Structure 1
Amino acid sequence: MPLSDDNFGFAEEKAGQNLAVLAEAIYLINLLVLPGIGFLLLVGLWFKHKDSAPPLARQHLRQTTLVSLIGGLLIVTLSGLIIDLGGLAWEWTWVALILYFTCIHSTLVLLGMYALIKAMNGQMWRFPLIGPALDAPQA
């Protein structure tokens, strides 16, 4: 029997679990291995499944896409602000820039790994501060 587009070779415990895991994995790929390309894959996955995905997958897809956008904006704009305020010649600009970038990037990776664990367990989870609100449980 051929595999469908939504079957990644693993049995799902909850509807949309495989897609949720894929979304979180691509989020980490975007941060760690292929920045930009990973983001394009994530946005493509979001547009393909945003209306048809089960709630678990939809939440993880929405979260990874939104957090990628917000995280990218945070890193680019605040890094630019640090450089603009300190100038490229001042050594403390580079100390602040590297420290800021390392802290923000590391936090996004760590939270992304936690989100991947939650997706692998078939659970919804929200990034603190910048994650979208969870959908209200349906009765």
Structure 2
Amino acid sequence: MPQSGSDNFPQDPPGTGMAVTAESLYLANLLLIPGIAFVILMVIYFKQSKSLPPLARSHLDQTVSASLWAGVLLVIVNLVILLLGGYDGAYTWMVVIIYFTVCHSSLILIGMLGLAKAMAGKCFRYPLIGRVLPEACRGMA
């Protein structure tokens, strides 16, 4: 008779918990608590990134990079709105709707995919905006 308990399940790769935390903070920054989650993510990045296993380091690098790109996109959208006549201009809502439909939803979808990969214990590189995976992570993707 097989034993019950955790012996039946393989161990998670080292760094899975931190990888899930990084991806969750990235999504929280986009959806729930913008700014606060970003600050927490950056504190983790600057304090712990050098000592993390490759899986956690990979996900932390990807989420920091994507968060910075999300901020850049937000600044660009605001500049476009200002150039098209300000916040009272005729094109304001068009730009806002296009941004949320294309950019913001794409960032959320990529973050959800990253969270699924982190929960599976696999490395993941964000398309277009992600950093190069560490050498130790290339076989885990």
SS for the counterpart of 1:133 is: coil
How many residue pairs end up in the alignment? 128
SS for the counterpart of 2:135 is: coil
Deviates more, 1:47-56 or 1:34-43: 47-56
Match of 1:46 in 2: 45
SS for the counterpart of 2:91 is: helix
SS for the counterpart of 1:51 is: helix
Work out whether 1:80 is the aligned partner of 2:78. Answer: yes
Q: Percent identity?
A: 46
Equivalences for residues 16-27 of structure 1 within 5 A? 16-27=15-26
Deviation for aligned residue 1:90: 3.1
Cα distance in 1 between the residues matched to 2:106 and 2:61: 19
Mind listing any 5+ residue stretches in structure 2 that lack a counterpart? 1-9
Match of 2:132 in 1: 133
Deviates more, 1:111-120 or 1:128-137: 128-137
Cα distance in 1 between the residues matched to 2:132 and 2:13: 20
What's the Cα RMSD here? Answer: 1.9
Report the TM-score when normalising by structure 2.
0.83
Mind listing any 5+ residue stretches in structure 1 that lack a counterpart? 1-10
